Structure formats: structure tokens, C-alpha cells
Chains A and B, each alone.
Chain A
Amino acid sequence: MAGIVEFQKVGLRYGRGAETLSDLDFVLERGSFHLLTGPSGAGKSSLLSLITLARRPSRGLIRLFGEDVVTIDRARLPAFRRRIGIVYQDFRLIPSISVFENVALPLRIVGAHPNEIDASVTELLAWVGLDARARALPSMLSGGEQQRVAIARAVVTRPDLIVADEPTGNVDPEMAGRIFHLLESLNRLGTTVLIATHDIHLIGRAPQAAMMRLNRGTLDDPTGALRHPPARQAPYP
């Protein structure tokens, strides 16, 4: 398997403060499933922001899909971002447009044909069980429904990599289980998945996942104890 994300001695500093992330070295293989854990403030969101190209590191090398994205020209970044599907804890749907249009956004950005947009969005909304809510505004949906819309939006362009930041953080346990199942099924289709979470139950549901643990800005114990948490039984149906 080829590395889809490679970090070499990556550091991130905000302003003149101490480094939020230090000396990160890891590789995410194509088609792998990773869980990124760590306490609040450990730097999980900062690490995801580097992978999703929302920020550039203060030092080190990051390769995405085999290319150095640290020194890359800014104009080329959108092409890389289009290969990454992002799911946020707070959904980040555009409130002024319908569920259908939110899911269609990535396709419209790449200039897809209207027929393709219609077919793909309809199929994905059915996949996440929201085909009946296609014309609704995000504000008319529950948290779990909004998260499923966000997942549909993240995968509508069939990205190579899915990055999810606490995707179950704002939904009830039953919905968390359904969302996790959606992400697992994407991974089975060959998509690389990275989920940042501190949900111990979610971690317990994914024994096959490769663990990454962030602590005070450094990665440690990538296959350690968190893989076998004490509360092993999953509460999700």
C-alpha cells in the first residue's frame, strides 16, 4: 500500500508561542482506517487542519498523495483539498441552502454536469437515509441528520481520504453508531479514513483501526493501550 499522507518532523506553532505539534512522523497508508485520540487540547484538531490543508506547518515535510504540500504554490491547494472529504463535529453546513445543495457543493465546485450532480446527490442522500429531506434547510434537521448530510457532502466526490473531527461529538449514541457505520463502509470501499475522537465507545467499536495518540503535541503509543480500552463493550446497536 502507498502512503497517502506522510508527515516528517512536522511542527506547528501559533504565533510566537510554544509548538502545538512537535516532530510528528507518521504515514497513513491508502485504504487504512485510523483513529486519532488524545485529551482535549492535545492538538488533534491542529493535526487535522494540517492534513486538510487549512494550515501550513511551521516546519517539517508533509506529503499528500505523494506530493509535498508545504512548499506547494497556493493556487494548487484546491486540487488537493478536492481529494479530501472533511466531516466536522459542528457539521459546518451552509445554512442558507438546502440539504441537496449542501451535498452538491463539492460537485458544483469542480464544475460537474447537472445530471451527474442530481444523480450523485440523490444516491448519497438515500444512502444516509435523508432523501426525503433533500429540500429542507439544515436548520430544520436534527444534529444527527445534519451530521449525515455532512458525511454525504464529504464523500460525494468519492475522495481518496476522509478526515472526520469528532464526528459523533454532537449526536446521541444510536446516531453515533450509524455515523460510524457509514464511515466504516466507506473504508471498506477503499477510502482512507482518519477519525479524531475521544469517544471511548467509538474506539471500542473499531478494533481493526490503527491507533494514533496525541499527547501534548507529540504522537505516542500509536498501537498501545487505547486499542484495548477497559470499557470494551460497545453501547451502540
Chain B
Amino acid sequence: MTGLAPDLLAQRRLLGPLAWVIAAICLIATLASATALTLDHGARSLAGSLAGRATVEVSSDDPVERERHAEAALRLLRGRPEIVAATPVSQAEVARLAEQLGADAEDGLELPTLIDVTLRPGVSADALTAQLLPIPGVRLLPQAQTLAPLAAVLEALDHVALGVALVAAVSALLASGLAAHAALAAHEAAADILHALGATDRQLSRLLERRIGFEALAGAVLGSLMGGGAILFIAAKLQGLDKGQVTGTSLHFGDWAVLAAIPLLLSAAAVAMTRVVVMARLAKAA
């Protein structure tokens, strides 16, 4: 028990510069963490929706031959035990997709026939390639492979966001350490008196820990509220997007719990850093 009055270390303002620094850091950490969590969900959602899915493309300049080959492929696929479903894509849909990719229906290009295939879990799409080889003009396109670059980009962005959150946490630690140094220097006279009266290093350290912990918590809560507001604003904008274009972008309850824990963690880190710095400094005294 310290029993020491918290106003022993007088301060002119309720909140010092550390609170504002921690607020900015917490804002960055919250946004970066939310980004990391969202990207992680997006990547998982993408991987989940693409895993076990493939597209069989049947192409030929002769429409009749193409349809014959497509029917053969369809029969083969539906006869395989590892196939859950094999569904032909309508030509109208194929034409729409081609148009999205820049092809013009009036170009006279022969569009391929596409078959969407869903495999049983754990079955590789590559296993089907050999089965389809005897049918001319048939090509198997595993969707995960097709969208692998996008998944890699999402993963990289996820790591970057996580890195930013970690850098923010380290910055909070360094800022707290500097604040502890400054506070100890500013209150050196009071610390000397308390030492002379028999106060232990831990008692002195606790006084500074309480001061810096309070400032860090106040700043972290402020930064967290600003970050939460920004996330809700962006979430509202994302809701306006076509669900088919953007999926897996919402934060779950657990994610909000993680974000809510950030100010507490930053404050705890600030207190721990203060203890380390103050105890190390005091240990150098007589």
C-alpha cells in the first residue's frame, strides 16, 4: 500500500502532452487493427468461397461442336463422385462477363461455354484435369488459382496493417518511456524528499505510474473513440456497395472486443514502461 496522496506530484494541467500523443497513436492503432481484421476476414471469405470451386471452359470455333463437347464434359463431371455439382453457365451470363472484360458482342467472337463445378471438400481441382483431357477444347480453371494474386495482395495488406498496429504500440511504449523520464526529472525534488522520508522505489514508481497511466488511458480512450467513429463511418459507406462486389468486410463482435481492448492494452503498456524506466533510474541513485 502506498497511501501517498496522488497530488504529491503537482501538475498544472489535467492532461499533459502524453495524453494527446497516445490519443493519436491509439487512433492509428485502432484503424490499423480494424483494417487488418477486415482484410483477414476478406481473405478468408475469398479463400472459403473459392476453395473447391472451378470453372470448366469449353471452346471451339464451331458452336455445334462446342455444345457437343460441353455436354460430354458435363456428363463426365456429373458422373464423378468427387463432384458435388456441375452447372452450365448460361450464354447470356457468359456474354455479360465478356462484356465486363471489354469484349463486344458485335465483334463476332465465339464465346466459350462455361461450366461451374463444385468439388467435395479436400478434393483438388487438378485431379479433374486428367479426366477432362480426352475431350477436345476443354480447359479446367481452378478459381482459387485464378484469384491467387488478389488473395496475395489481401494477405500483404493485412500484414502491413498489422505491422502499422505494432509500430503504433511500440511508439506508445517509447512515448511512455520518455514521459516517465520527463516526469521523474520534473518531480526530482519531490522524489528526493520522499526518498529521504523512507519511501521505497516502488512507492515512488507507483506515483508516476498512476499519473502516466491516467494520462495514457484518457488519451487512449479518446483515440479509440475517434477510431471507432471512423470505422463506423467507413462501415456505413461499405454497406452501400453491392454485396456481390464486396463481401466479408464487416467487423464481428469479437473484432470490436479486440478494438476495445487496444486502449486498455496501451495504457497497461504505458504503466509497465513507466515502471521499468523509473525503477531503472532510481536504482542508479544512492
Contact = CB atoms under 8 A, between A and B. Distances in A.
Contacts of B7: 96-97
B13 to A, nearest CB: 14
A94 B192 CA distance: 11
Query: What interface size band does chain B fall in?
Result: 20 to 34
Interface in B4-49: 4-5, 7-10
Which of B7, B196, B200 is most buried by chain A, counting CB atoms within 10 A of its CB?
Answer: B196
Contacts of B9: 96
Contact of A94 (B3, B8, B198): B8
B286 A108 contact: no
Given A92-B193, A95-B10, A109 B5 contact: no
A74 to B, nearest CB: 7
Which of B2, B4, B10 is most buried by chain A, counting CB atoms within 10 A of its CB?
Answer: B4
Contacts of B192: 54, 92
A101 B5 contact: yes
A41 interface: no
Contacts of A95: 10
Given A54-B286, A56-B286, A74-B283, A96 B196 contact: no
Contact of B194 (A54, A74, A79, A109): A109
Interface string A45-89: 000000011111000000000000000001101110110001000
A125 interface: no
Contact of B198 (A74, A75, A97, A110): A110
Given A108-B4, A108-B5, A52 B196 contact: yes
B190 interface: yes
A82 B193 CA distance: 12
A222 interface: no
A112 B3 CA distance: 8
Contacts, number: 62
Contacts of B2: 108
A106 interface: yes
A86 B196 contact: yes
Nearest to A159: B198
A81 B201 CA distance: 13
A75 B1 CA distance: 16
B247 to A, nearest CB: 58
Contacts of B196: 52, 54, 81, 86, 92
A130 interface: no
A230 B280 CA distance: 52
Given A54-B286, A96-B10, A81 B195 contact: yes
Contacts of B1: 111
Nearest to A112: B3
Contact of A81 (B5, B10, B197): B197
Contacts of B10: 95-96
Contacts of B197: 81-82, 86, 105-106, 109, 153
B199 A109 contact: yes
Given A75-B200, A97-B7, A105 B194 contact: yes
Given A78-B200, A79-B198, A109 B3 contact: yes
B153 to A, nearest CB: 55
A224 to B, nearest CB: 31
B148 interface: no
B191 to A, nearest CB: 11
Nearest to B190: A94
Contacts of A153: 197
Interface string A113-134: 0000000000000000000000
A108 to B, nearest CB: 4
Contacts of B143: none
Interface string B194-223: 111111110100000000000000000000
A86 B189 CA distance: 15
Nearest to A93: B193
A53 to B, nearest CB: 7
Given A78-B199, A109-B198, A97 B193 contact: no
Contacts of A81: 195-198
B198 A108 contact: no
A78 B198 contact: yes
Given A56-B286, A109-B197, 18 more contacts: A53-B286, A54-B192, A55-B286, A75-B201, A78-B198, A86-B196, A86-B197, A92-B192, A94-B193, A96-B7, A97-B5, A97-B7, A106-B198, A108-B4, A108-B5, A109-B3, A109-B194, A111-B1
23 contacts: A53-B286, A54-B192, A54-B195, A78-B195, A78-B199, A86-B197, A92-B189, A92-B193, A94-B8, A96-B7, A96-B8, A96-B10, A97-B5, A105-B4, A106-B198, A108-B2, A108-B5, A109-B3, A109-B198, A109-B203, A110-B198, A112-B3, A153-B197
Interface of B: 1-5, 7-10, 189-190, 192-201, 203, 283, 286
